[in-house]
Structure 1
Amino acid sequence: MLTPRRAASRGATPALLAGIRAALVTLSVALTGVLAVMGFVSVRFARRIVTPASRVADTRILGLDTAAQTITLANTPDTRLPGRYGLFTTGTASYVKLGSVLAEDGDSVKRKLLTHIGPSSSISSDAAFSGWYYSGPEELHLPYSPELIGSAVGPCPAWLFPAGESTDTWVIQIHGRGTNRRECLRAVPLFHAAGITSLVVSYRNDGEAPRSRTGTYALGATEWRDVDAAVGFARRRGAKRVVLMGWSMGGAIALQVALNSAHRDLIAGLVLESPVIDWRTVLDYQTKLLKLPHAVTDLAIGALSSDWATPVTRTGGAIPFDRLDVVSRAGELRHPILILHSDDDGFVPSDASHDLVVRRPDLVEMQVFEVARHTKLWNYDQERWNDSIRSWLERHDLIPAAAAADN
């Protein structure tokens, strides 16, 4: 490109010089605009990552047959999954249980209702599909007690399901991002049958436990302390072996407990369901789903990991992504780990789970599912899910002798 001086020396006209100047100004303004838009999108994405999510409607109810007790839903990768699920609704019922798929076409899926809906019921067409299945601890028909776990942010509610016989082996269940402890109830009957006491916990900013000063997630970097307090609670109640089971972001939290806890001697192993092993992998995947440029991931992670950006991201402190990357920290792991992950997860890709197995085949075992989607492996194939966990517990001598004899 000719500079104004060189253009003039070659006889450029004033009109040409003016055109060059105008083009440079236009390019500068355009570049500034692109950078501003990219920065705005990155900040929005960063805030979305750390802001506790409320449940949003992702499913459309197309029809309800109260005589046949069936429900017709819009056809999506979730609604056509085999197995048992739940549906958050509004109207006469706030939550209904779904059974098997009865019919399917390109637009709709008809499923059996496992919650009775009366003929006078009125339910909104907007709903949210869920893998929870159980909506409360009473539905398990097992003895339990509400507990409060003291932590740095205040008392965190928990449910304690004692084993049928006195035991010193416990499992601590840790739910994922944007959910609460009800997500973990599916696993309680399995551990109860294995003679293991279950403690289903909450942690800061999950809507049940106390709110931190900022009210935002730290993606496991601070939440692990609340779960570590639960490990201490279990120790004071007589636990001598603790299994940590984490779902999705709960997996990231469980791994941070295993790496950082003062009670590491008590931890006997980890069971991770659809876990976050490395947040960078997850966030890169999410930007692709949203059809955003890869640079958005880098800018968002850069902002979240920097103290100077906390007034914008509202995190209250830098998030240590290097510490949360357990693939790169695989050499520090000391406990056996079972990973259950679907290769078509659709939210948390299984890549980092596979990478961790490659890095630590001596400690990490993985059961690979297909079709099951994110945190819905129990729903999709309960028998395989149960067998995978129970056989892993047996191989690591984590089933109390009395329970092992009964089976």
Structure 2
Amino acid sequence: MKSLRHAVAIAVPAVIAAGAAVAFAVFATARRVVTPAERRNDTHILAVDTGAQTIELDRTPDTELPGRYGLFTTGTYGYVKLGAVLSVDAKKVRRKLLTQVETGARVDRDAAFSGWYYVTPSELHLPWESVLIGSPAGPCPAWLFPVAPADAASATWVIQVHGRGTTRSECLRAVPVFHALGLTTLVVSYRNDGEAPRSRGGSYALGAEEWRDVDAAIGYALRHGAERVVLMGWSMGGAIALQVAVSSDNREAIAALVLDSPVVDWRTVLRFQAREAGLREPLPAMAMGALGNLVTARLSGSEHAIAFDRLDMVARASELDAPILILHSDDDGFVPSDASHALAAARPDLVTMPTFTVARHTKLWNYDQTGWTAAITDWTKAQGLSASE
């Protein structure tokens, strides 16, 4: 009996400790899902040749991609633009610099590879102005790119929605495409993205609340001459756009959706990202379960319980009624294209999904600007939404 009591005395604290460790892991995982992410350095600058205007980076699946990209760094420059891949070996990639880097400039080693390319609206050399959208979260800044002349303004506006952990600059690549089609573009922000107002808890709702800010942008467009809108969402912006499409009182004004590397079903995405991070079931399922309950969601840093069923747009495909263009690389590496293909299979009457590969996440414009532009241009014209021929 004495030995049994001794064994129990040892085992109970161990079980409690194991349970506490699991709970900590669950809540930590859940918290990462809803906490706005900061930009993460994902490569190193190995060398800069200011004479040849070239740069060497760690070789990664992103840095070796052909095309035009950007690089966030610190020192003399906060952001530099990158061009063609000049050489690749097992460990490094040498690329052309498209930003003139002067001799003596300090460029720090740690850097973040980016598909943004453009950072400010002025880089597009198009007419634009800053506006504020009055949303339930407060005044959300937006960039408005009107077509000109004003008396030829299109009745169709494009409203662009950026993704998780980014800002409006992500969307600038698409503005010239829609401008060439004669469409006014509104590039918006939403709560907790670092530009729009912060909600009380400052957490993401994965589209379940952010859609209200985009819906307010539709109202702004309708009050300023738009008769219909095209929603374009990037990554999590795609999830937000889809929530607007099924939840908005303005849904009759939504003529179409364009989705680049979209989140169509969060559970598919989060399971994939958990596997990539080395997390195994049941931890991802437990983390999503924690976010689905109000009490444990708040312990995880979320203001709201996350209703993953409502965010599953494959399951809700029957509720969609506007044509959708999905642009998604099958080599995305961050948001798998599985749910996008599933939505296309569920609604072949609405969804057009041309094939893209290699391009990685939200870098289709960078990798294949010609194919990406043609896909949007041809589809928009086929929907009768272009104001120019």
TM-score, normalised by the number of residues in structure 2: 0.97
> Mapping of 1:228-239 within 5 angstroms?
228-239=215-226
Query: Unpaired runs of 5+ in structure 2?
Result: none
Say if 2:271 is the partner of 1:287.
no
Say if 2:96 is the partner of 1:112.
yes
**Aligned counterpart, 2:130:** 146
**Aligned counterpart, 2:145:** 161
Give the secondary-structure state (helix, strand or coil) at the position aligned to 1:284: helix
Deviations 1:92-116 (A, max 9, x none): 0000000000000000000000000
Highest CA radius of gyration, 1 or 2? 1
Displacement, 1:149?
0.2
Deviations 1:166-196 (A, max 9, x none): 1101100000000000000000000000001
Task: Flag the 1:366–1:22 CA change in 2: closer, same or farther, 3 A.
Answer: farther
- How far apart in 1 are the matches of 2:212 and 2:338? 27
**Aligned counterpart, 1:14:** none
Say if 2:159 is the partner of 1:172.
yes
Say if 2:291 is the partner of 1:304.
yes
Displacement, 1:46?
0.8
Report if aligned partners of 1:82, 1:101 keep a CA contact under 8 Å in 2.
Answer: yes
**Aligned counterpart, 2:385:** 398
Give the secondary-structure state (helix, strand or coil) at the position aligned to 2:47: strand
> Mapping of 1:161-310 within 5 angstroms?
161-164=145-148, 165-310=152-297
Q: What is the identity, as a one-letter code, of the residue corresponding to 2:36?
A: P
Moved over 6 A (4+): none
Query: Unpaired runs of 5+ in structure 1?
Result: 1-16
Say if 2:60 is the partner of 1:76.
yes
- How far apart in 2 are the matches of 1:24 and 1:365? 62
Say if 2:342 is the partner of 1:355.
yes
Task: Flag the 1:29–1:367 CA change in 2: closer, same or farther, 3 A.
Answer: farther
Displacement, 1:48?
0.9
Q: What is the identity, as a one-letter code, of the residue corresponding to 1:259?
A: V
- How far apart in 2 are the matches of 1:121 and 1:143? 33
Q: What is the identity, as a one-letter code, of the residue corresponding to 1:118?
A: E
RMSD of aligned alpha carbons? 1.2
Give the secondary-structure state (helix, strand or coil) at the position aligned to 2:353: strand
Paired residue total: 386
Larger mean CA deviation between 247-256 and 388-397 belongs to: 388-397
Report if aligned partners of 1:39, 1:299 keep a CA contact under 8 Å in 2.
Answer: no
**Aligned counterpart, 1:86:** 70
Give the secondary-structure state (helix, strand or coil) at the position aligned to 1:160: strand
Deviations 1:292-342 (A, max 9, x none): 121111111111111111431221221111111101101111111111111
Report if aligned partners of 1:172, 1:242 keep a CA contact under 8 Å in 2.
Answer: yes
**Aligned counterpart, 1:38:** 22
- How far apart in 2 are the matches of 1:239 and 1:265? 13
TM-score, normalised by the number of residues in structure 1: 0.93
